[in-house]
Amino acid sequence: MQTAIKVTQLSKSYGNLTAIDNISLSVECGTVFGLLGANGAGKSTAIECILGTRTADSGTVTILGHNPKKERKNLFQKVGVQFQECDYQPEIKVSELCEETSCLYKNSADWKDLCIRFGIGDKINSAVKNLSGGERQRLFIVLALIPDPQLVFLDELTTGLDAKARRGVWKILSDLKSKGLTIFLTSHFMDEVEELCDEICILKKGKIVFNGTVEQAKETSGCNKFEDAYLVLSGEEAEE
């Protein structure tokens, strides 16, 4: 199986604060990889350094065989990114935002079809500011998939969605994975991680404390439930 992401001994500090500390991980093509950890564990910094939007102090990264800092133009056409916080012009319509995004890519997906699949097909003429939190979240996932990417980064995938909508998103992503899409996600919902992820990595204070499957996490922690295993391995249980 080919490797979509290869990270070797990546570190980043801000003054005296070490955000990520010598992390190494590998993501295989066509799999779903979950990066987990408490707030402040280093997830956002790790993703930024992997994508090349932030410069690491040391270490190496390849994405789809490319250096994300030096070969950004090549990667731009192959990678989709959905961030937690997205700022757009308040009056822009869903259709305008999707059309603008689509124009950036050579082989973009059909954004209207994506909107329909994600349950916002009736909102394309609405201003983004008038969407509900869940609708905005689904729009941000659509925008990440418009490039028709080989790899997509999804940050806090289903925050703000109700149970039915979350399961609908899971189903669509599972279908896309079966067609070869590689998914790198962060989530605080352990049922989501358990449902979607082939492999997980747990960060604690910038260090990797676990890397493996959900089942291996249960075995390592001695817990029957994955949520309990996560709390033990991440150290969050001890902090309560």
Q: What is the model's pLDDT at position 90?
A: 74
β-pairing verdict for 151-155 and 182-186: parallel
Q: Is 20 exposed, middle or buried (0-12, 13-18, 19+ CB in 10 A)?
A: buried
Same domain, 123 and 229: no
- Residues 112 and 167 both lie in one domain: no
Domains contained in the chain, number: 2
Angle at Cα 58 formed by Cα 52 and Cα 63, nearest 5°?
Answer: 35
Please list the ranges in the chain whose pLDDT falls under 50: 239-240
Can you give the pLDDT at residue 204? 95
CATH of residue 225's domain is: 3.40.50.300
Q: What is the residue type of 127?
A: A
Domain boundaries, position 172: 3-78+152-239
Residues 180 and 74 placed together within one structural domain of the fold: yes
**Is residue 81 within 8 Å of residue 152, measured between CB atoms?**
yes
Instruction: Give residue 240's pLDDT.
Output: 45
Distance of alpha carbon 132 from alpha carbon 39, whole angstroms: 25
* pLDDT at residue 238 in the model: 53
State residue 190's pLDDT score.
94
pTM of the model: 0.93
What is the per-residue pLDDT for 69?
A: 87
Same domain, 156 and 65: yes
Q: What is the gyration radius of the CA atoms in the chain, in angstroms?
A: 18
Q: Are residues 219 and 166 in the same domain?
A: yes
At residue 236, the pLDDT reads 74
End residue of a domain, out of 104, 133, 149: 149
Residue 95: C-alpha distances to residues 89, 99, 234 (Å): 13, 6, 41
Integer Cα distance of 115 and 235 in angstroms: 39
Domain co-membership, 162 together with 97:
no
pLDDT score of 54 = 92
Model pLDDT, residue 146: 96
Whether the CB-CB separation of 203 and 35 falls below 8 Å is answered with yes
Give the per-residue pLDDT at 84. Answer: 63
